[in-house]
Structure 1
Amino acid sequence: MEKKILVKNNPIIAAVRDVSLIEKAVLSPVETIFLMSGDIFTVEHCVEESRKNNKSIFLHVDLIKGIANDREGIKYLSKKVKPDGIVSTKNQLIQAAKKEGLLTVQHLFMIDTQAYENGIRNISTINPDAIEIMPGLMPRVIREFYEKIDCPIITAGLIKHPNEIREAVDAGAHGVAVGAPELWDLDYKNY
């Protein structure tokens, strides 16, 4: 699978929660950025900055203001803004993005067994390019997902220490999205 979502050298993904941090994210050693804030006026700049610095960028469309959460909003992003892909909890947005040629990350909240089972079903039906599960501090669940699904796993949420990143990767996570800018600069290979 030769997709841009697959991080090659660094599993840390910069989860940018404030567009003012885009400069720090693009200058960090991360390969991929998940933009989790902004609006119709700022996303284009964030994508351009990412491109200039050879970073992949995914827009968490559920959190971007001024972009309709429908097929037309996804089409606008695909044609005008041109991110590498989207992150969303919504099945219909994942499907629309796939039709527009964008990479897709299905965001799942693992709050209980029912959410876990629904997540497995959705993944097999929607077929996203990757999944992002929250919270990220669940090595056993990461291992179980890794054994049951055939797409990269990204974990996120509540990760504060380098050893937690290592635990998630060791359990089978392909990437770990972290919001703490001080973790974006970690030399992953040396911790």
Structure 2
Amino acid sequence: MASELSAMLDECPIIAAVKNEAGLEQCLQSEIQLVFILYGSVCEIPAIVQQVKNAGRSAVVHVDLISGLSPREAAVDFIRQYTRADGIISTRPQVLRRAKDLGLATVQRFFVIDSMALENVYKHQEDTRPDFIEMLPGAMPKILQKLSSSLPTPIIAGGLISDKEDVMAALKAGARAISTTNPEIWFM
């Protein structure tokens, strides 16, 4: 599954991160192929994923943000059994390990707010071995360059990417892709 998502990012390095139904409807009007789902409840997530899949797109669910799911291994079991999601996003290593066991693509999200958080990226990446690392905020080219040149895992820059200049700076710094909730970037 991860290799399919990687091939998709070769064609378009922009990922639509959607946080509500209006954003989902709007992103499905774009040519973006990969959608990060950052909203919903345990009751809604199967239908949200189905909407993405019906549009011929790939869906990756941020399990930590789905209301009614605790960020535990059972949440991944639920996503695998009751949705057609292609992968999951989480900040939690045990959740990501379970997703890998079930054949889902994995995105480990890190909030890099200081040097201790940056060191945690190295530590947890080696332990978890996710398919992708999402670094937030993504508008930090020097840190993106440092991570992308020293880690074997592809980096996705997310958060605070607001315009084409931010997108180009992140990609030039070595980010494999950009995830954004900004519809203007989805249609660039």
TM-score (norm 2): 0.94
The DSSP-based 3-state class of the residue aligned with 1:57 is strand
Question: What is the aligned partner in structure 2 of residue 103 from structure 1?
Answer: 105
Question: What is the aligned partner in structure 2 of residue 65 from structure 1?
Answer: 67
Question: What is the aligned partner in structure 2 of residue 26 from structure 1?
Answer: 28
Q: Is 1:91 matched with 2:102?
A: no
Q: Separation in 2 of the partners of 1:131 and 1:15?
A: 15
Deviation at 1:21, TM superposition (A): 2.1
Tell whether the 8 Å contact from 1:13 to 1:177 is kept in structure 2 after alignment: yes
The DSSP-based 3-state class of the residue aligned with 2:28 is helix
Deviation at 1:41, TM superposition (A): 2.2
- Which amino acid is the alignment partner of residue 90 of structure 1? R
Matched ranges for 1:71-150 at <5 A: 71-150=73-152
Relative distance call for 1:2 and 1:79 in structure 2 (3 A) is closer
Deviation at 1:68, TM superposition (A): 2.6
Please list every run of at least 4 consecutive aligned residues from structure 1 whose deviation after the TM superposition is greater than 2 angstroms: none
The DSSP-based 3-state class of the residue aligned with 2:5 is coil
Deviation at 1:4, TM superposition (A): 2.7
Deviation at 1:57, TM superposition (A): 1.0
Q: Separation in 1 of the partners of 2:112 and 2:2?
A: 28
The farther-off stretch of 49-58 and 84-93 is 49-58
Which of 38, 41, 57 matches 1:39? 41
The DSSP-based 3-state class of the residue aligned with 2:39 is coil
- Which amino acid is the alignment partner of residue 89 of structure 1? T
- Which amino acid is the alignment partner of residue 151 of structure 1? T
Deviation at 1:5, TM superposition (A): 2.7
Q: Separation in 2 of the partners of 1:60 and 1:2?
A: 16
- Which amino acid is the alignment partner of residue 95 of structure 1? R
Q: Separation in 1 of the partners of 2:109 and 2:169?
A: 20
Tell whether the 8 Å contact from 1:136 to 1:159 is kept in structure 2 after alignment: yes
Deviation at 1:109, TM superposition (A): 0.7
Deviation at 1:24, TM superposition (A): 1.5
RMSD: 1.4
Q: Separation in 2 of the partners of 1:2 and 1:136?
A: 21
- Which amino acid is the alignment partner of residue 5 of structure 2? I
Tell whether the 8 Å contact from 1:137 to 1:164 is kept in structure 2 after alignment: yes
Tell whether the 8 Å contact from 1:13 to 1:34 is kept in structure 2 after alignment: yes
Deviation at 1:2, TM superposition (A): 6.3
Structure 1 residue runs of 5 or longer lacking an equivalent are 187-191
Question: What is the aligned partner in structure 2 of residue 12 from structure 1?
Answer: 14
Deviations 1:156-191 (A, max 9, x none): 1111111100110111111111111122111xxxxx
Structure 2 residue runs of 5 or longer lacking an equivalent are none
Tell whether the 8 Å contact from 2:63 to 2:75 is kept in structure 1 after alignment: no
Deviation at 1:125, TM superposition (A): 1.1
Deviations 1:28-85 (A, max 9, x none): 1112111111111221122112212221111111111112321122101101112000
Question: What is the aligned partner in structure 1 of residue 51 from structure 2?
Answer: 49
